[in-house]
């Protein structure tokens, strides 16, 4: 290859020199100037050729487009459910809360470890492998799994620090399992620097060797080390059956973990309208109990054949209901 | 003997460094982009994919609320309520949301989970001076017998000065327990401090969208 390039270069140089001499003579320039002009033309030509090659789409571009289309297809379906979902973007190291096409919150993932992804070999890849929809089954230590005991209920009656009064404690490290063969482990970790960074890496590496990252029958295990406050907030925000969209990094794809098909769109809840206000009466009409009816004509006189309803003149108008001082609310609240 | 020990130590160290190096390299190996140019079929597929992505992008944008509206956003993880007007955040308030706890009534075999629901909601009604009719769980939770008379269920001050109904018994309302704001402690409703509650109550109308995540 090198030899071929060398030959090409030498040939090019000779060709360039010859052309330069000819062109220089033709334009009445000196030998040196002609060669310089020709070299400049060649340099421009080479730059144009390089730019053209760079502009030409590559297989990497196709893969990016496939990923983008797969992500958007899943996102449109998830957004149409009108419920929030999380996007675990392993390429950008970001956890995004999305709802109806809006990004509600972004949580950066400083440290990320993934096991079980497959290299994308190029060519056609199914959408679920590039943007997989999974749904949360359980979060470790979920308070809903342990209903309050009768003792805790009794304690709560007189102790304001009892279990049912304080918010449930959030574990520092927790595992999220999904209805698919994928597990996410979230750890609250301070940002490690220098030696502690090496220590943190060794710790996580040994944890993975021990199968600490999710193990079992899981095909994909992901370990997220988040800022301690963010780890707690993520835990609190998670509900069972919440959908996640997992986006593998460029060059990788998800194995078949049982990804869900895109969910069906959900119709919007009916938006209640502001109750119509009664039209304001003109100043002159104030105090008049009811509108004066049109003159009573015999049936058929105006051509419609109907009988107009005339309220009895002595009957007082119905009183509007009194606004309650305090409104009672239905079952629910707090 | 000493030489042998040193030899073993060196061998062990070498092994550890090798394994660590392998793991590190495996993790940090960069993915090399495939820069081979596409053929005609590939270019056509790329064009189709780009067109499809653009149309999907438009559909996604169409689902978001119109910027010229007032809407509320509730972040259950951080216990924050945001109010937006014309796409700009005009209020950021600390609130309290559902604890996620469960309560069981062993006698009647009932179970409640105190979650704040997630998704898109609308303000369905606005109530000044709301009176809370305490449901059964409110008594069970504190170990009290469930009363039979309605009058014994009424709690006139518990919900604060205003309540805004989200449907299904969930409300945005005030609280007597101001120091618990910012905690995931409620039975599913969203509690706000007095001042923020008044601001929100004044600004929202029936039909104002509320997005909870």
Rounded to a whole number of angstroms, the distance from the CA of A214 to the nearest CA of chain B is 18
Lowest mean pLDDT among A149-153, A278-282, B86-90, B110-114: A278-282
Specify the higher pLDDT residue, B36 or A282.
Answer: B36
Residue in chain B lying closest to A117 (CA): B27
A87-107 b/e with 16+ CB inside 10 Å = b?
bbbbeeebbbbbbbbbebbeb
Round to whole Å and give the CA distance between B191 and B201: 13
pLDDT at A290 over 60: no
Q: What pTM, to 2 d.p., does this model score?
A: 0.74
Whole-number percent of chain A with pLDDT over 70: 57
Q: Tell me: the pLDDT tens digits for A210-227?
A: 554 444 688 999 999 999
Rounded to a whole number of angstroms, the distance from the CA of A12 to the nearest CA of chain B is 25
Residue from the list B31, B73, B165 with its beta carbon closest to the beta carbon of A104 = B73
pLDDT of residue A231: 96
Q: Tell me: the pLDDT tens digits for A49-63?
A: 666 666 788 888 999
Name the pLDDT band for B36 (thresholds 50, 70, 90): confident
Query: For the purposes of burial, counting CB atoms within 10 Å of the CB of B117, is it exposed (0-12), middle (13-18) or buried (19 or more)?
Result: middle
Average pLDDT value over all residues in chain B: 91
Q: Hey, CA dihedral for B112, B116, B120, B124, is it positive or negative?
A: positive
Q: Tell me: the pLDDT tens digits for A158-193?
A: 666 666 677 888 998 999 999 999 999 999 887 555
Round to whole Å and give the CA distance between B74 and B209: 11
pLDDT at A320 over 50: no
Closest CA to A63 of B55, B57, B60, B35: B35
Region A106-135 average pLDDT: 89
pLDDT at B37 over 90: no
Residue from the list A72, A143, A272 with its beta carbon closest to the beta carbon of B122 = A272
Round to whole Å and give the CA distance between A254 and A311: 75
Round to whole Å and give the CA distance between B60 and B73: 19
Contact criterion met (CB below 8 Å) for B153 and B131 = no
Chain B residue numbers with beta carbons less than 8 Å from the beta carbon of A325 are 129
Specify the higher pLDDT residue, B194 or A19.
Answer: B194
pLDDT of residue A230: 96
Check CB contact under 8 Å for B156 and A164: no
Residue in chain A lying closest to B120 (CA): A82
pLDDT of residue A3: 38
Q: Which among B38, B64, B75, B101 is the top mutation candidate for probing chain A, defined by the most A β-carbons within 10 Å of its own β-carbon?
A: B101
Check CB contact under 8 Å for B27 and A100: no
What the block records as the tokens of B29 is 């190996």
What the block records as the tokens of B81 is 């309520």
Q: Tell me: the pLDDT tens digits for A127-141?
A: 889 999 999 999 999
**Stated length of chain B:** 213
Q: Tell me: the pLDDT tens digits for B92-126?
A: 999 999 999 999 988 889 999 999 999 999 999 99
Round to whole Å and give the CA distance between A115 and A216: 13
- H or E element in which residue B132 lies: strand B130-133
Query: For the purposes of burial, counting CB atoms within 10 Å of the CB of B1, is it exposed (0-12), middle (13-18) or buried (19 or more)?
Result: exposed
Rounded to a whole number of angstroms, the distance from the CA of B1 to the nearest CA of chain A is 32
Q: Tell me: the pLDDT tens digits for A232-277?
A: 999 999 999 999 999 999 889 999 999 999 898 877 777 787 776 6
Chain B residue numbers with beta carbons less than 8 Å from the beta carbon of A242 are 118
Query: For the purposes of burial, counting CB atoms within 10 Å of the CB of A323, is it exposed (0-12), middle (13-18) or buried (19 or more)?
Result: exposed
pLDDT of residue B33: 73
Chain A residue numbers with beta carbons less than 8 Å from the beta carbon of B121 are 269
pLDDT at B188 over 70: yes
Strand B162-167 with B125-128, pairing: antiparallel
* Strand ranges of the sheet holding A182-188, from the earlier edge strand across to the other edge: A102-108, A94-99, A85-89, A243-247, A132-139, A173-178, A182-188, A220-226, A111-115
DSSP letters along B161-182, please? SEEEEEETTEEEE--S-GGGTT
Residue A108 has phi, psi (to 5 degrees) of -70, 150
Specify the higher pLDDT residue, B118 or B16.
Answer: B118
Name the pLDDT band for A203 (thresholds 50, 70, 90): low
pLDDT of residue A206: 67
pLDDT of residue A327: 55
pLDDT at A18 over 90: no
Name the pLDDT band for B50 (thresholds 50, 70, 90): very high
Specify the higher pLDDT residue, B143 or A40.
Answer: B143
pLDDT at B167 over 80: yes
Check CB contact under 8 Å for B141 and A334: no
pLDDT of residue A306: 32
Chain A residue numbers with beta carbons less than 8 Å from the beta carbon of B189 are 332-334
pLDDT of residue A46: 72
Round to whole Å and give the CA distance between A241 and A78: 13
pLDDT of residue A179: 96
């Amino acid at each position: 290859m090198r030899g071929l390039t060398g030959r090409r270069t030498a040939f090019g140089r000779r060709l360039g020199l010859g052309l330069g001499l000819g062109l220089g003579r033709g334009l009445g320039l000196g030998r040196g100037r002609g060669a310089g002009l020709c070299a400049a033309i060649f340099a421009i030509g080479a730059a144009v050729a390089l730019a053209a090659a760079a502009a030409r789409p590559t297989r990497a571009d196709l893969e990016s487009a496939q990923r983008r289309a797969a992500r958007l297809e899943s996102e449109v379906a998830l957004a149409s459910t009108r419920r929030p979902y999380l996007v675990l973007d392993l390429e950008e190291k970001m956890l995004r809360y999305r709802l109806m096409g809006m990004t509600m919150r972004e949580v950066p993932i400083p440290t990320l470890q993934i096991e079980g992804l497959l290299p994308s070999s190029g060519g056609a890849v199914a959408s679920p492998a590039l943007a997989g929809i999974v749904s949360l089954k359980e979060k470790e230590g979920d308070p809903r799994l342990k209903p309050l005991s009768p003792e805790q209920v009794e304690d709560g009656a007189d102790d304001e620090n009892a279990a049912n009064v304080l918010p449930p404690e959030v574990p520092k490290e927790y595992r999220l399992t999904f209805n698919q063969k994928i597990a996410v482990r979230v750890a609250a970790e301070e940002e490690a620097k220098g030696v502690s960074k090496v220590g943190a890496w060794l710790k996580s590496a040994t944890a993975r060797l021990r199968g600490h990252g999710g193990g079992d029958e899981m095909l994909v295990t992901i370990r997220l080390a988040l800022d301690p406050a963010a780890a707690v907030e993520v835990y609190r925000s998670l509900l069972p059956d919440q959908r996640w969209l997992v986006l593998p990094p460029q060059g990788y794809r998800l194995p078949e973990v049982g990804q869900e098909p895109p969910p069906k769109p959900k119709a919007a809840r009916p938006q209640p309208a502001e109750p119509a206000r009664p039209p304001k009466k003109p100043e002159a009409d104030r105090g008049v109990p009811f509108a004066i009816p049109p003159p009573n004509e015999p049936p058929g006189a105006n051509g419609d054949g109907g009988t107009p309803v005339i309220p009895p003149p002595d009957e007082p108008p119905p009183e509007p209901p009194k606004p309650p001082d305090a409104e009672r609310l239905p079952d629910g609240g707090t | 003997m000493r030489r042998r020990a040193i030899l073993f130590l060196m061998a062990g160290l070498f092994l550890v460094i090798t394994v660590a190096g392998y793991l590190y390299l495996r993790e940090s190996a960069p993915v090399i982009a495939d820069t081979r140019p596409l053929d005609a079929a590939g270019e056509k597929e790329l064009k189709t994919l780009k067109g499809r992505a653009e149309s999907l992008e438009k559909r996604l944008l169409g689902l978001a609320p119109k910027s010229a509206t007032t809407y509320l956003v509730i972040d259950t993880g951080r216990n924050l309520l945001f109010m937006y007007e014309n796409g700009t955040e005009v209020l950021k308030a600390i609130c309290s949301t559902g604890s996620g706890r469960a309560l069981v009534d062993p006698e009647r075999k009932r179970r409640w989970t105190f979650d704040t629901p997630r998704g898109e909601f609308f303000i369905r009604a606005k109530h000044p001076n709301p009176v809370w009719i305490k449901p059964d769980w409110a008594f069970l939770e504190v170990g009290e017998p469930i009363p039979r008379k309605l009058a014994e269920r009424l709690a006139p001050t518990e919900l604060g000065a205003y309540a805004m109904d989200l449907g299904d018994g969930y409300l945005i309302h005030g609280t007597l327990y101001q120091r618990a704001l910012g905690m995931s402690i409620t039975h599913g409703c969203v509690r706000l401090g007095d001042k923020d509650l008044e601001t929100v109550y004044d600004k929202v109308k029936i039909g104002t969208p509320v997005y909870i995540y």
